[in-house]
Structure 1
Amino acid sequence: MGSVGLSVRRTGQIWRVRIVSGASAPARELTPVRQAGAQGTVIFVAADEVGGRLSLVDPAVGDRLSVIPLGDDGRGLAQDHQYVDFHLLPSAQGLVIDPVADGLQIVRFATGVSIGSQRGLAISGSELAARMGAARGGTVVSRMIDLEAWRQGAHEGTKADYTAREQQMLVDLSLADAASRKSVRWDLARFYAGHGAYPEAYAMLALLADTDPEIKNTLQWKAVSGVVLLGLNRPLEALTALLDPKLDAESDLWLWRALAANHAERHALALDYFRRGTEALALHDRPFLAKIHLAIAQSALAEKAYDLASGQITSLQNMGLSGNQALAVDYLYGQLAQSRGDIATARARYQDAASARDRHLSTKARLQLARLEYGEGNISISEATARLERLRFAWRGDRLEMDVLETLADLYRQQEQYRQALLTLQLAASAFATDAQSRDLAAQMSAIFSRLFLDGAADKLPPLEALGLFYDFSELTPLGSSGDRMIRHLVERLVSVDLVDRAAELLEHQVSYRLEGSAQALVAAQLGKIYLLDSRPEETLRIMRATRQPILPDDVLKQRTLVSARALSELKRYEEALVLLENTSGREADQLRADIYWASQDWPALAAISDRLLGNRWRNDAPLALPEREILIRQALALSFNDARERLAQLRSRYRPLIMEGDYAGVFDLLTSPSGTPAGELGRIAGELGGVDQFRSFLSAYRAEFTPTGGTAF
């Protein structure tokens, strides 16, 4: 059987692979070239649409091969290219690299693949010439983001070099003609970015976009603007620019994406991007490596990827960093030690980091130290609160400030200092309204509010303080039944301490803005009772009219009828009140009728309704309760005014044993005496009992309805 080969063709997203006789021969051959790299000679293979790197095992000999897919069809190697450190194997499509030596560095770019080594490849020829880039066309493809190159050779980045170079470039820009002006502006934008002058770089990019809007669609623009936006602390916008799929082949871009994701606190994404760009670490200098290792260690700790965090921290420690960077590593190591339960080490590292001149780092370390020591019981909650209060002003304007405020609010909550807790959370939520975590802050405020006004924590506060808290944070009142219960609970508390006018204000808002239908009608009846308690019967009738419904449940309709009739009676509109009660039955309605008859001095009707209220109570030997004694006295007075002596005698015989002692015993004896009541006594007794209906019959009953369960009215 002869040799077998492959033919690969692509149509849109469809790939067709044909098995053909004879050896494989790519339609268009890739060409490896020798170039000068940052760490010596490299082999660069130019190609378009470079895919992700795959690791496969050769089934024949067991070697681990690195495969680089290419999106441009028919691109491969017709023959084996052998080097000391690796082999490039023949392929019909893509690159297949067989490593021979350790430490091989394979880096993908949008325009090709670079293969090198930390020590430089062992390739014959003039190494000096290769390093100097003497051969034309031998300069290695540059990275899209090359800060060192962007600095345009400013010697070690000193201020004098920066200023001189900037002035020269500005002069060049002023002298440039229209055709070359774009190129000079590009150089200036990247020069500023390379030196960390991000506002100046952003301004130059904006000028470029104004003069050439199409430039924003280029990959180079997106890469540079992503770096500049990240430098301006706009990580989400930076990610949008850097995440163009056409940049995926640039291994270096994955590291910048990881940095942007870390700054945006999308830590899982940061770790994923970092793993996909690790091959480009070899391209970077020490400052960038320190930056990326710090970011990935932070994201790994946030995602509890402690092994990865440990590796990054070890790399940082081996770099021999100093100053704030070394203290930043201490802070991360403290977090790692705390995750392992090594509290002593964590405390020591946080204390070191707290001494940093970098206020952001110092504030983070002091926050963690306060949390740790309070959690371990080494400081009191008041000391922890005092520390956090000082930290409020140590750093402002980002997620760290939010963390400080959130921790401080929780300390206030634990001490039942609810106003301070709510104010602190409110400050954080308003300062970071666009942050995704602001929803959590709002949820914490709602939880505290519910604890106060649903779970009864506000009952421990003075009534006016509780009312003030409710009004100041009333926007936290939940919708629906929970919010309605919250309002009614507070109303009960206010009525129980005679703050009926404040209670009325709360129910007015509930009736006007929160309720409808039968629920509104029922709560309006409660509000009407509060108006009666506050001697405002006109307001009772107004709210009854305003909340009238065509169809209501019988129990709700009865409550509203009784309240309206009581208000009419208080306004001395007795006839209207009685007409309103015509179709209402029950003891509560009869008690109200008795009050109306008493107030209107309708003695025959009062005697009849009193008899119905007492019923056969005389058959029970137990002494009369106070409300029963009041009904009995009013009946005796009514019979006396009617001079109904036989009925009085019957009343005496039935009830005298039940009222011989206690309230009204003497009055009952006088009113039912066989010799009759002395002249003038009936009027005097009626005058003294004139307020009985107000203070015993209905106001006390209404007030009792608003007394919190298990509490007392006063």
Structure 2
Amino acid sequence: MHPCRTLSISLALLSVTTALTAPPAAAEAPATITVQTGDHADFSRLALVNAQGAPAVDVGSCGGRVAFSQAVPWPLEALNGTYSRRLTGFQTAEDGRSLTMDWPCGARVTVRRERRITFIDVADPPRPARKPGAPVPASESVLLAEAPGASVFPVIAPPTPEPVPAPTASAQTAPISLAERLNPVASAQAQPIVQAQPVVQAPPPVQPQPVAKAPPPKPEPARTVAAVPPSATPPVAAPAPAVQADPPIRAFDLDAWAGDDYPARKQHLEQRIADSQGRARVDALLAMARFTLARALPEEGRAALDAAESLTPGPDQRYELRLLRDAFRALDGTADPDDSQFVRAHPTPAAADHHVWRSATLAPSRWTAAKSSLPIALKRLLSYPADLRGRLLTLLAESAGEAADGASLNLIVLEMITLDGIGSTDGRLDFFRGRLAELRNETAEALTHYKRAAALPNLYGHRAQVRSIELRLASGALDDPGAIAELESLRYAWRGGDVETDALAALGAAYTRAGRIDAALDIFGLLGRRFGATARGQAALTTGRGLLDAVIGHLEKTPGSALDALSLQVRYGRTVALTDDDAGTQQRRLARLLARGGFTLEAARLLHTVAEATRGAQRAAVGLELARVLLDAGRGAEALAVLDHTAGPAPDAAAADPQTAKRRALLRAEAFATEGEAMRAFDALRGLTGPEAARIRADSLFRAGEWPAARAAYAELLGGQDAPLPDDIAFHALAAFRAGDDAAVTAAAERHGKALAGTRWAGLLDALAVPPDPAGKPLSSATVGGQLAAADALAGVLRRWKAP
């Protein structure tokens, strides 16, 4: 079409619209623009007439934006005051440089430029079961599935009964056949177009009667009757009423498409496909696809759709093909909820405050997800009652403060200030302003706000006191003894309040830093006993988890804290289990402390409990730790059973991390060596290298009594690049002594004698390196003295080995 003719048609469509011209601006402002909006039967149009070039148009799913390079005086009042079915919500942005608008989500938007005019045409969103451009029946209603993965197709309510028009001769002589019922309106469109009978007015005597045009597929009698001008006087006798024929099958009336006789219906459709050509063949294939969809035969249906696509279908038929493919995907459960006409995983509620409740629901546990809806949620709160608005803002502020999100907390605090001064009378606003200043590292301002809030004897006043003490501790203005004194003085004043758990946690952390572990454990037990079974139990356990982490961290850094670890396990083992996470992190740390202190039985019991409660890779990791504890206790058989029990099925064990698999193999070999099964230990070590594997091989030979081989294995281990362990040096010397290699013993004493000083092997090399006196000669005093010194050294080694 010629561009001039297109422009004239476009301007003709806008002839019935309201012309909205922006008022003249100042001399430095851009030239005046003209904005026109109007509604057409199929679309709504926005036209911008501007002489300074085409604007940038951004099209979104539920709205769009028109932007210029400089500010434009938009006529907002006139735009918003003009009714439009599809274009609403006009607003300016970017200091007047852009205009934003809303339209129905999923609408089909077309943007084009002709000379100085920019046209934005917004058509209705695609509707399932209806071809674009077809009239929408008043009784149509489409129901979509609301559950993810549901295979629910549109259900079209039956049309309201309409008055039966006067039958014609063609209706009497040509009833609708089954083929026409299976092919609605000869194009398989979503809704059949019912041709209304034209109402002919009685013409004046001097004017000829216009000839009524009959539909093409009607038989010859219908054309003959329609071509004769009707008489001015009505007929004397009306013809006999004809029997009402069945209406065409609706596009997604699955029961009607399925039919009662499957073989006959399928044979009829196959015959139609074979007998038709071109567009009619595509319609027949679409009818076959609807039949297979109703019968839940996805493979046959997709084959029919592929055959239809290969025949160059028309635009309306391609739309039907896309809808049917979407329906088959919904039938299989493979439809994408974000791009499906039949499945919606998360239906958008009709309420305008959807974003408010989404943010409020996700805020306590998933702040990252709740944050995305925060700006629009704050905007929606304007229409809420003051009480409900205050509670929701408090919930959002609490979550933002816990997540340390200063930018979001700033928006919420500003909203609390501007909306009725929420929280200004109960200390809530001062508390959150102090938290905001704390996140900005403004300690003095935060303490000022906390002090103002603490003047009120309520929940936020008490919380402000706790935060003030913790902030002064962190800044160095208050030491641990001073914090303990302040917290103990306020402890009973807070008893029974919501802030008591936070106050107890702060007091326990101060006890831990001051080294008063018993008092910290008492506070931890109090949190579990008093609040573990209450409505605040989960929050108390979360608070106690931080205190438990601080206590165990202090015990890990403090030597000789095994008794404190044992006290924690015996007195508060159940509370530790309740407070711990799913991976058992704190219980595993406690078990390591117990094993380090020699309490292997308690450590093994604790790790057994954790292993039974975990699954997958975490269970395998706990099993390795438990096997290590059992091997240190000399229980090799139990270590083997634990390794087999926690390895999981064969596929999971094969797919494990290489380092985990290597560590499991080393532990199995060490367990076999501990049990005296040297050959099985060698089999477990096959293919493994490194000092740990070499040490296990040497230990297996030593336990089996293979002294020369053990001496050679330990000698190879001592000659490596890594620094030798005291046990390696001692076992090498013992293997050389048992093998009768005095030179190797003497060389080891000269080379590694100082390395054993201060260990439990101290004096062993000196005792083994004493040369025996020649046979047949009397003992000399030096020989006797050397033998006594060697015996004393061996006695010392024995005492050190027996010491706990």
Would the TM-score normalized by the shorter structure come out above 0.5?
no
Normalization by structure 2: what TM-score?
0.38
Normalization by structure 1: what TM-score?
0.42
**Structure with bigger RCO (C-alpha 8 Å, 6+ apart):** 1
